[in-house]
Amino acid sequence: MDFKHLFVCVAGCLAVTSYGKGGDAGKPKDWPVFSSVVYEGNDAVFTKNPLRKDEFYNPILQGCYPDPSICRRGDDYYLVCSSFAMFPGVPVFHSTDLVNWRQVGHALDRPSQLKVHDAGTSNGVYAPTIRYNPHNEMFYMITTQVSGGFGNMMVKTKNPEEGWSDPIKLHFNGIDPSIFFDDDGKAYIVHNDGPKKSLWKGHRVIKLWEYDVETDKLVPGTDKVIVDGGTKLDKHPFWIEAPHIYKKDGKYYLMCAEGGTGEYHSEVVFVSDKVDGPYVESPNNPILTQRYLNPMRENKIEHAGHSDVVEGKDGKWYGVFLGIRLNEKGHSLIGRETFILPVDWSGTFPVFENGLIPMEPKQKMPAGVENKQGEDGYLPCGNFSFTDDFAGKALDNRWVGIRCNPEDFVSFVQGGLRIEPFGADISEKKPLSALWLRQMHGNFSFGATVDYRPRSESDLAGIACMQNRNAQIVLGLTKKDGRTMITLVRRLKDKTEILGESEIVGKRPVRLQVEAQGEDFRFSYSTDGHVYHNVGGKVDGAFLSTTVAGGFVGNVVGLYATSGNNR
């Protein structure tokens, strides 16, 4: 065992102790074992739009992967996204062609870097930026961690696939920091902040600092407001944020999100002859948005913005950004995803190609690229299935915990994955003994086999869907009046309701499943793997959407166990 894994194991044990069991979880033989997990997505948009040989699907990262940032070193591209209260945090992806992506790990994967144990599901880690500094051959990931006392922080590494440093705390206010390395080796940090005096609702500023790469500290007294308010000031723009600085043809470009993260979201750009301004806005702003379009259009993608651009190996520019796929009711259970478009930078200002007209579900491949999505370890796109029998002795990078590291409660055993139940109920803002996948389709199914013998009404294990601690639904095995029961429980705001239950006779493993067609959810179980019995009828899943539940995250589905069931 190497030092890193020894550290993780020790830290994990300490973390479990600090979380507390809050109940009698029994011995390992009493803990549930999960196996044969299958997630499958089947959205009509992909069925109706089959790919040609020279096409790929957009989004390139399906599920809740918002606020993307991208950088390039030589032939390698690296991309990161927000992760909120998920652990590990800040997923890191790698590509050599901008189409085919592998997840190579997380930037924040240990307790010294990530403290989200008491964070809400939409709190934690916001808006990371990844950059490569050719002057010291170092990668930097800078972000705002609104939990654990971190605030704005940075980690760095020589290789994004081999782990990142402990956090470097950065002492400035505001959110959405980005770092820029100039040709002369100087470095600057740019971020969103509040104005000295707010003149209208949503009035924010963009601030610049000099940054000392040798000491990893801000240079005191160098802070300067470079944009006050945003674009078209007479219209009182709101929430100028997510700034990035680029240098092209001797000029400095500042690109920002504007309009909030909802329906008015957009991307705008400014130019200056000097890094610290003055910056002049493009007369053609916004350069990316979907806010002006027909709300009744087909294959609707909304909220486009929060972008980062990179020059491709072909000399053309490309931009990644967040967007949201809405269902026919105008809701999204999937959350904000990562999309990509080519960028035309032949003039003074960059413009996203087709970024102001209805976005299509598929794009043309860059010249010379072969679509390998879903093959050879590359992440799939479109309609696909994900199967995990936990035979590899290491979790797939797509599995995450909420508020704690999965290593704190999972272990690989013969026949599957064992989860040690924590004493926290899923409705509590505490670390959960639950393993999650992001919902990646509007129409999906998720199932798992669980081998479990609950001993009391406090014991429960099964599958769950969750948007936050007040929007969740659980199908699990528990005890009631001495009988082993399958129970379906929904929590909506402060109300917990048992939607259905059924007695289980015998000791064989049970198959649990959820099937969703848009917002129509059906939960079922099988004791023989063939005949399924519905529990609770049809359930309206709209309460799991961001429209109803609020927040910044999409729905997650997963494997859940507790010794503190309070239903």
Which residue numbers are catalytic?
Answer: 67, 241
Query: Distance of alpha carbon 393 from its chain centroid, rounded?
Result: 24
Is the Cβ–Cβ distance between 312 and 366 less than 8 Å? yes
Any residues with CB less than 8 A from the CB of 155 and at least 6 apart, and which? 107, 108, 113, 140, 141, 164, 165, 166, 167, 168
Is the Cβ–Cβ distance between 531 and 466 less than 8 Å? no
**Cα–Cα distance, 423 to 378 (Å, whole number):** 37
Output the CA–CA distances (angstroms, integers) from residue 61 to 80, 136, 340, 380, 388, in the order listed. 11, 30, 10, 9, 19
Is the Cβ–Cβ distance between 517 and 42 less than 8 Å? no
Choose among 184, 298, 186, 304: nearest CA to 242: 304
**Cα–Cα distance, 176 to 125 (Å, whole number):** 10
User: In degrees, to the nearest 5, what angle opens at C-alpha 300 toward C-alphas 295 and 301?
Assistant: 110
| β strands within 159-287, DSSP E | 168-169, 175-181, 187-193, 205-212, 217-218, 224-228, 241-248, 251-258, 266-272, 280-281
Going 433 to 435 to 438 to 442, the CA torsion angle's sign is: negative
| DSSP designation for 432 | -
**Cα–Cα distance, 454 to 435 (Å, whole number):** 19
Output the CA–CA distances (angstroms, integers) from residue 215 to 173, 186, 211, 544, in the order listed. 20, 13, 9, 45
- Single-letter code of the amino acid located at 67: D
Instruction: Dig out the tokens for 241 from the structure.
Output: 């944020």
User: In degrees, to the nearest 5, what angle opens at C-alpha 427 toward C-alphas 423 and 429?
Assistant: 75
For residue 54, the SS3 value is coil
Output the CA–CA distances (angstroms, integers) from residue 333 to 17, 481, 482, 521, in the order listed. 34, 36, 37, 12
Is the Cβ–Cβ distance between 525 and 486 less than 8 Å? yes
Output the CA–CA distances (angstroms, integers) from residue 189 to 144, 407, 441, 532, in the order listed. 13, 34, 37, 56
Is the Cβ–Cβ distance between 500 and 535 less than 8 Å? yes
Residue linked to tokens 């219209």: 235
Q: What is the dihedral of CA 369, 65, 247, 189, to 10 degrees?
A: -150
